[in-house]
Amino acid sequence: MRLETRPPGWRPASPFDRVRVTVAPGGADFEGDTHRPIQAAVEYVAAFGGGTVEVLPGTYRMGNAVHLRPWVRLVGHGDATVLLKNPSFTTPLVDDTDWYDWTAAVEDPSGFEVGGGLFLRAKSTQGSAGGGHTKHTITAIEGNVLTLDRQPRKNLWLKGEATASTLFPILTANWVNDIAIEGITLDGNRDQNENLNGNYGGGIFLQDCERVRIAGVTSRNYNGDGFSWQICHDVTVEDCRSLDNRDLGLHPGSGSQRPVIRNNEVRNCGIGLFWCWGVKHGLAEGNTLSGSGEFGISVGYRDTDNVMRNNRVLESRHAAVLFREGSSPDRSAPHRCVVEGNLLQGGGTAKTPAIAIRIDGAPDGLVIRGNHIINPEGSHLATGIRIGPRVTHVTLEGNTFEGVATTVEDQRG
């Protein structure tokens, strides 16, 4: 029997390095300026068990999301590689689509294409099993009937005002592990797209994924969230930009464990960083969040044991940091979180002054330490720290204040 030997220091290659292919409008392994060659390259690389897809400079018009696969790394050339979402199109359904169906009949099929992204939705009606939201790829079109890539598993009925729309994330991954997205620009074409809730979409939207690295990515102008990940564990988002997105800049979503959010810029989003529901043991460090339409950082339902340190939160409309009150404040509070070493500056209006750190609900074991809270000339930050009446143990230590009328407002009596 022959024993194979390898030189000292040998290590097996990362699956990301197994194969590398390029995508470009011309002169690449996969050619074209839409989502199609990018998706084709991802599938090709995934067939080898992993590798890297390099998207060369250009503007790529996205008629569907690119669906990432395990051990695939998608890399671009920064601002020179732009994935631009096509304008959205919406039309009513003209027949009920049941949860087990493979088709949807629409009033106007002119805005859809085979291989394109599709979002079906219907309102829930009283006493009805209908209602919901489902995402698909269109596999065929015959007349006004769209064939779906999978059953909706929701009842999309006319009495719920069911519609079909070309709404989708720009990049997405569902139930996969070990992926990377680096150095690419995503443009949601906000003015020409309807809103898509961050529980279903975003510039990047991940669902039930593990071990994800997102670095050097710009997500801008999305009519929804910039970055959203739901029930995803060990996600790192660093050196990214979330700019001018309507809803949430960074959205570590329900049940996500151990997110690391580091050295990002979030500007002019509805909420800068939104810890959603049951997000635990996360770190947000070295980020700059400015011009948030509501809150710079929002922490809420069972978001326990998270650390927010050395961030710059500037000119938030209502509060730089909000601890939200849940529907069951005693059971759902964001316990044992740390807010440390942050610069919290400005915000509010003359009519509605802002608060730097607002603690609602009944959290226990919070540490608010070493933060610098400033109300510069022309801003309307009236209160440094407000502690609500049901808050239990909170540690205030070494915080400093400049130009703030009320440094600490403790409503516990």
Q: Please check whether residue 19 lies inside any domain of the structure.
A: yes
Q: Both 268 and 310 in a single domain?
A: yes
* Burial class of residue 5 (count of CB atoms within 10 Å of its CB; 0-12, 13-18, 19+): exposed
| pLDDT of the residue at 373 | 99
Residues 174 and 306 placed together within one structural domain of the fold:
yes
pLDDT at 126: 64
List, for residues 203-262, the tens digit of each pLDDT value.
Answer: 999 999 999 999 999 999 999 999 999 999 999 999 999 999 999 999 999 999 999 999
Q: Which domain holds residue 98?
A: 90-165
- CA 296 to CA 231: how far, in whole Å? 22
Whether 5 maps to a domain, the answer reads no
Task: Say whether both 172 and 53 belong to one domain.
Answer: yes
Tell me the C-alpha distance between 166 and 174, whole Å: 19
| pLDDT computed for residue 4 by the predictor | 47
Domain boundary residue, one of 129, 146, 165:
165
In a domain, 4, yes or no: no
Residues 289 and 396 reside in one and the same domain: yes
Does residue 9 lie in a domain region?
no
In a domain, 7, yes or no: no
Give pLDDT, residue 12: 63
Whether residues 62 and 115 share a domain: the answer is: no
Residue 6 lies in a domain: no
Same domain, 193 and 294: yes
Last residue of a domain, one of 116, 134, 165: 165
The pLDDT value recorded for residue 125 is 75
| pLDDT score, position 5 | 57
Split into its structural domains, the chain has a count of: 2
Task: State the CATH number of the domain containing residue 157.
Answer: 2.40.30
Altogether, the residues listed in the chain come to a count of 413
Considering the domain architecture, whether residues 141 and 181 belong to the same structural domain is answered as: no
Report the CATH number at residue 219.
2.160.20.10
Residues 348 and 273 grouped into a single domain: yes
Do 72 and 32 lie in one domain? The reply is: yes
Clarify whether residues 272 and 197 are in a common domain.
yes
pLDDT at position 3 is 44
Regarding whether 305 and 191 lie in a shared domain, the answer is: yes
- In order along its 413 residues, the chain shows pLDDT tens digits of 344 456 777 666 788 989 999 999 999 999 999 999 999 999 999 999 999 999 999 999 999 999 999 999 999 999 999 999 999 999 999 999 999 999 999 999 999 999 999 999 999 876 666 689 999 999 999 999 999 999 999 999 999 999 999 999 999 999 999 999 999 999 999 999 999 999 999 999 999 999 999 999 999 999 999 999 999 999 999 999 999 999 999 999 999 999 999 999 999 999 999 999 999 999 999 999 999 999 999 999 999 999 999 999 999 999 999 999 876 656 789 999 999 999 999 999 999 999 999 999 999 999 999 999 999 999 999 999 999 999 999 999 999 999 999 999 999 97
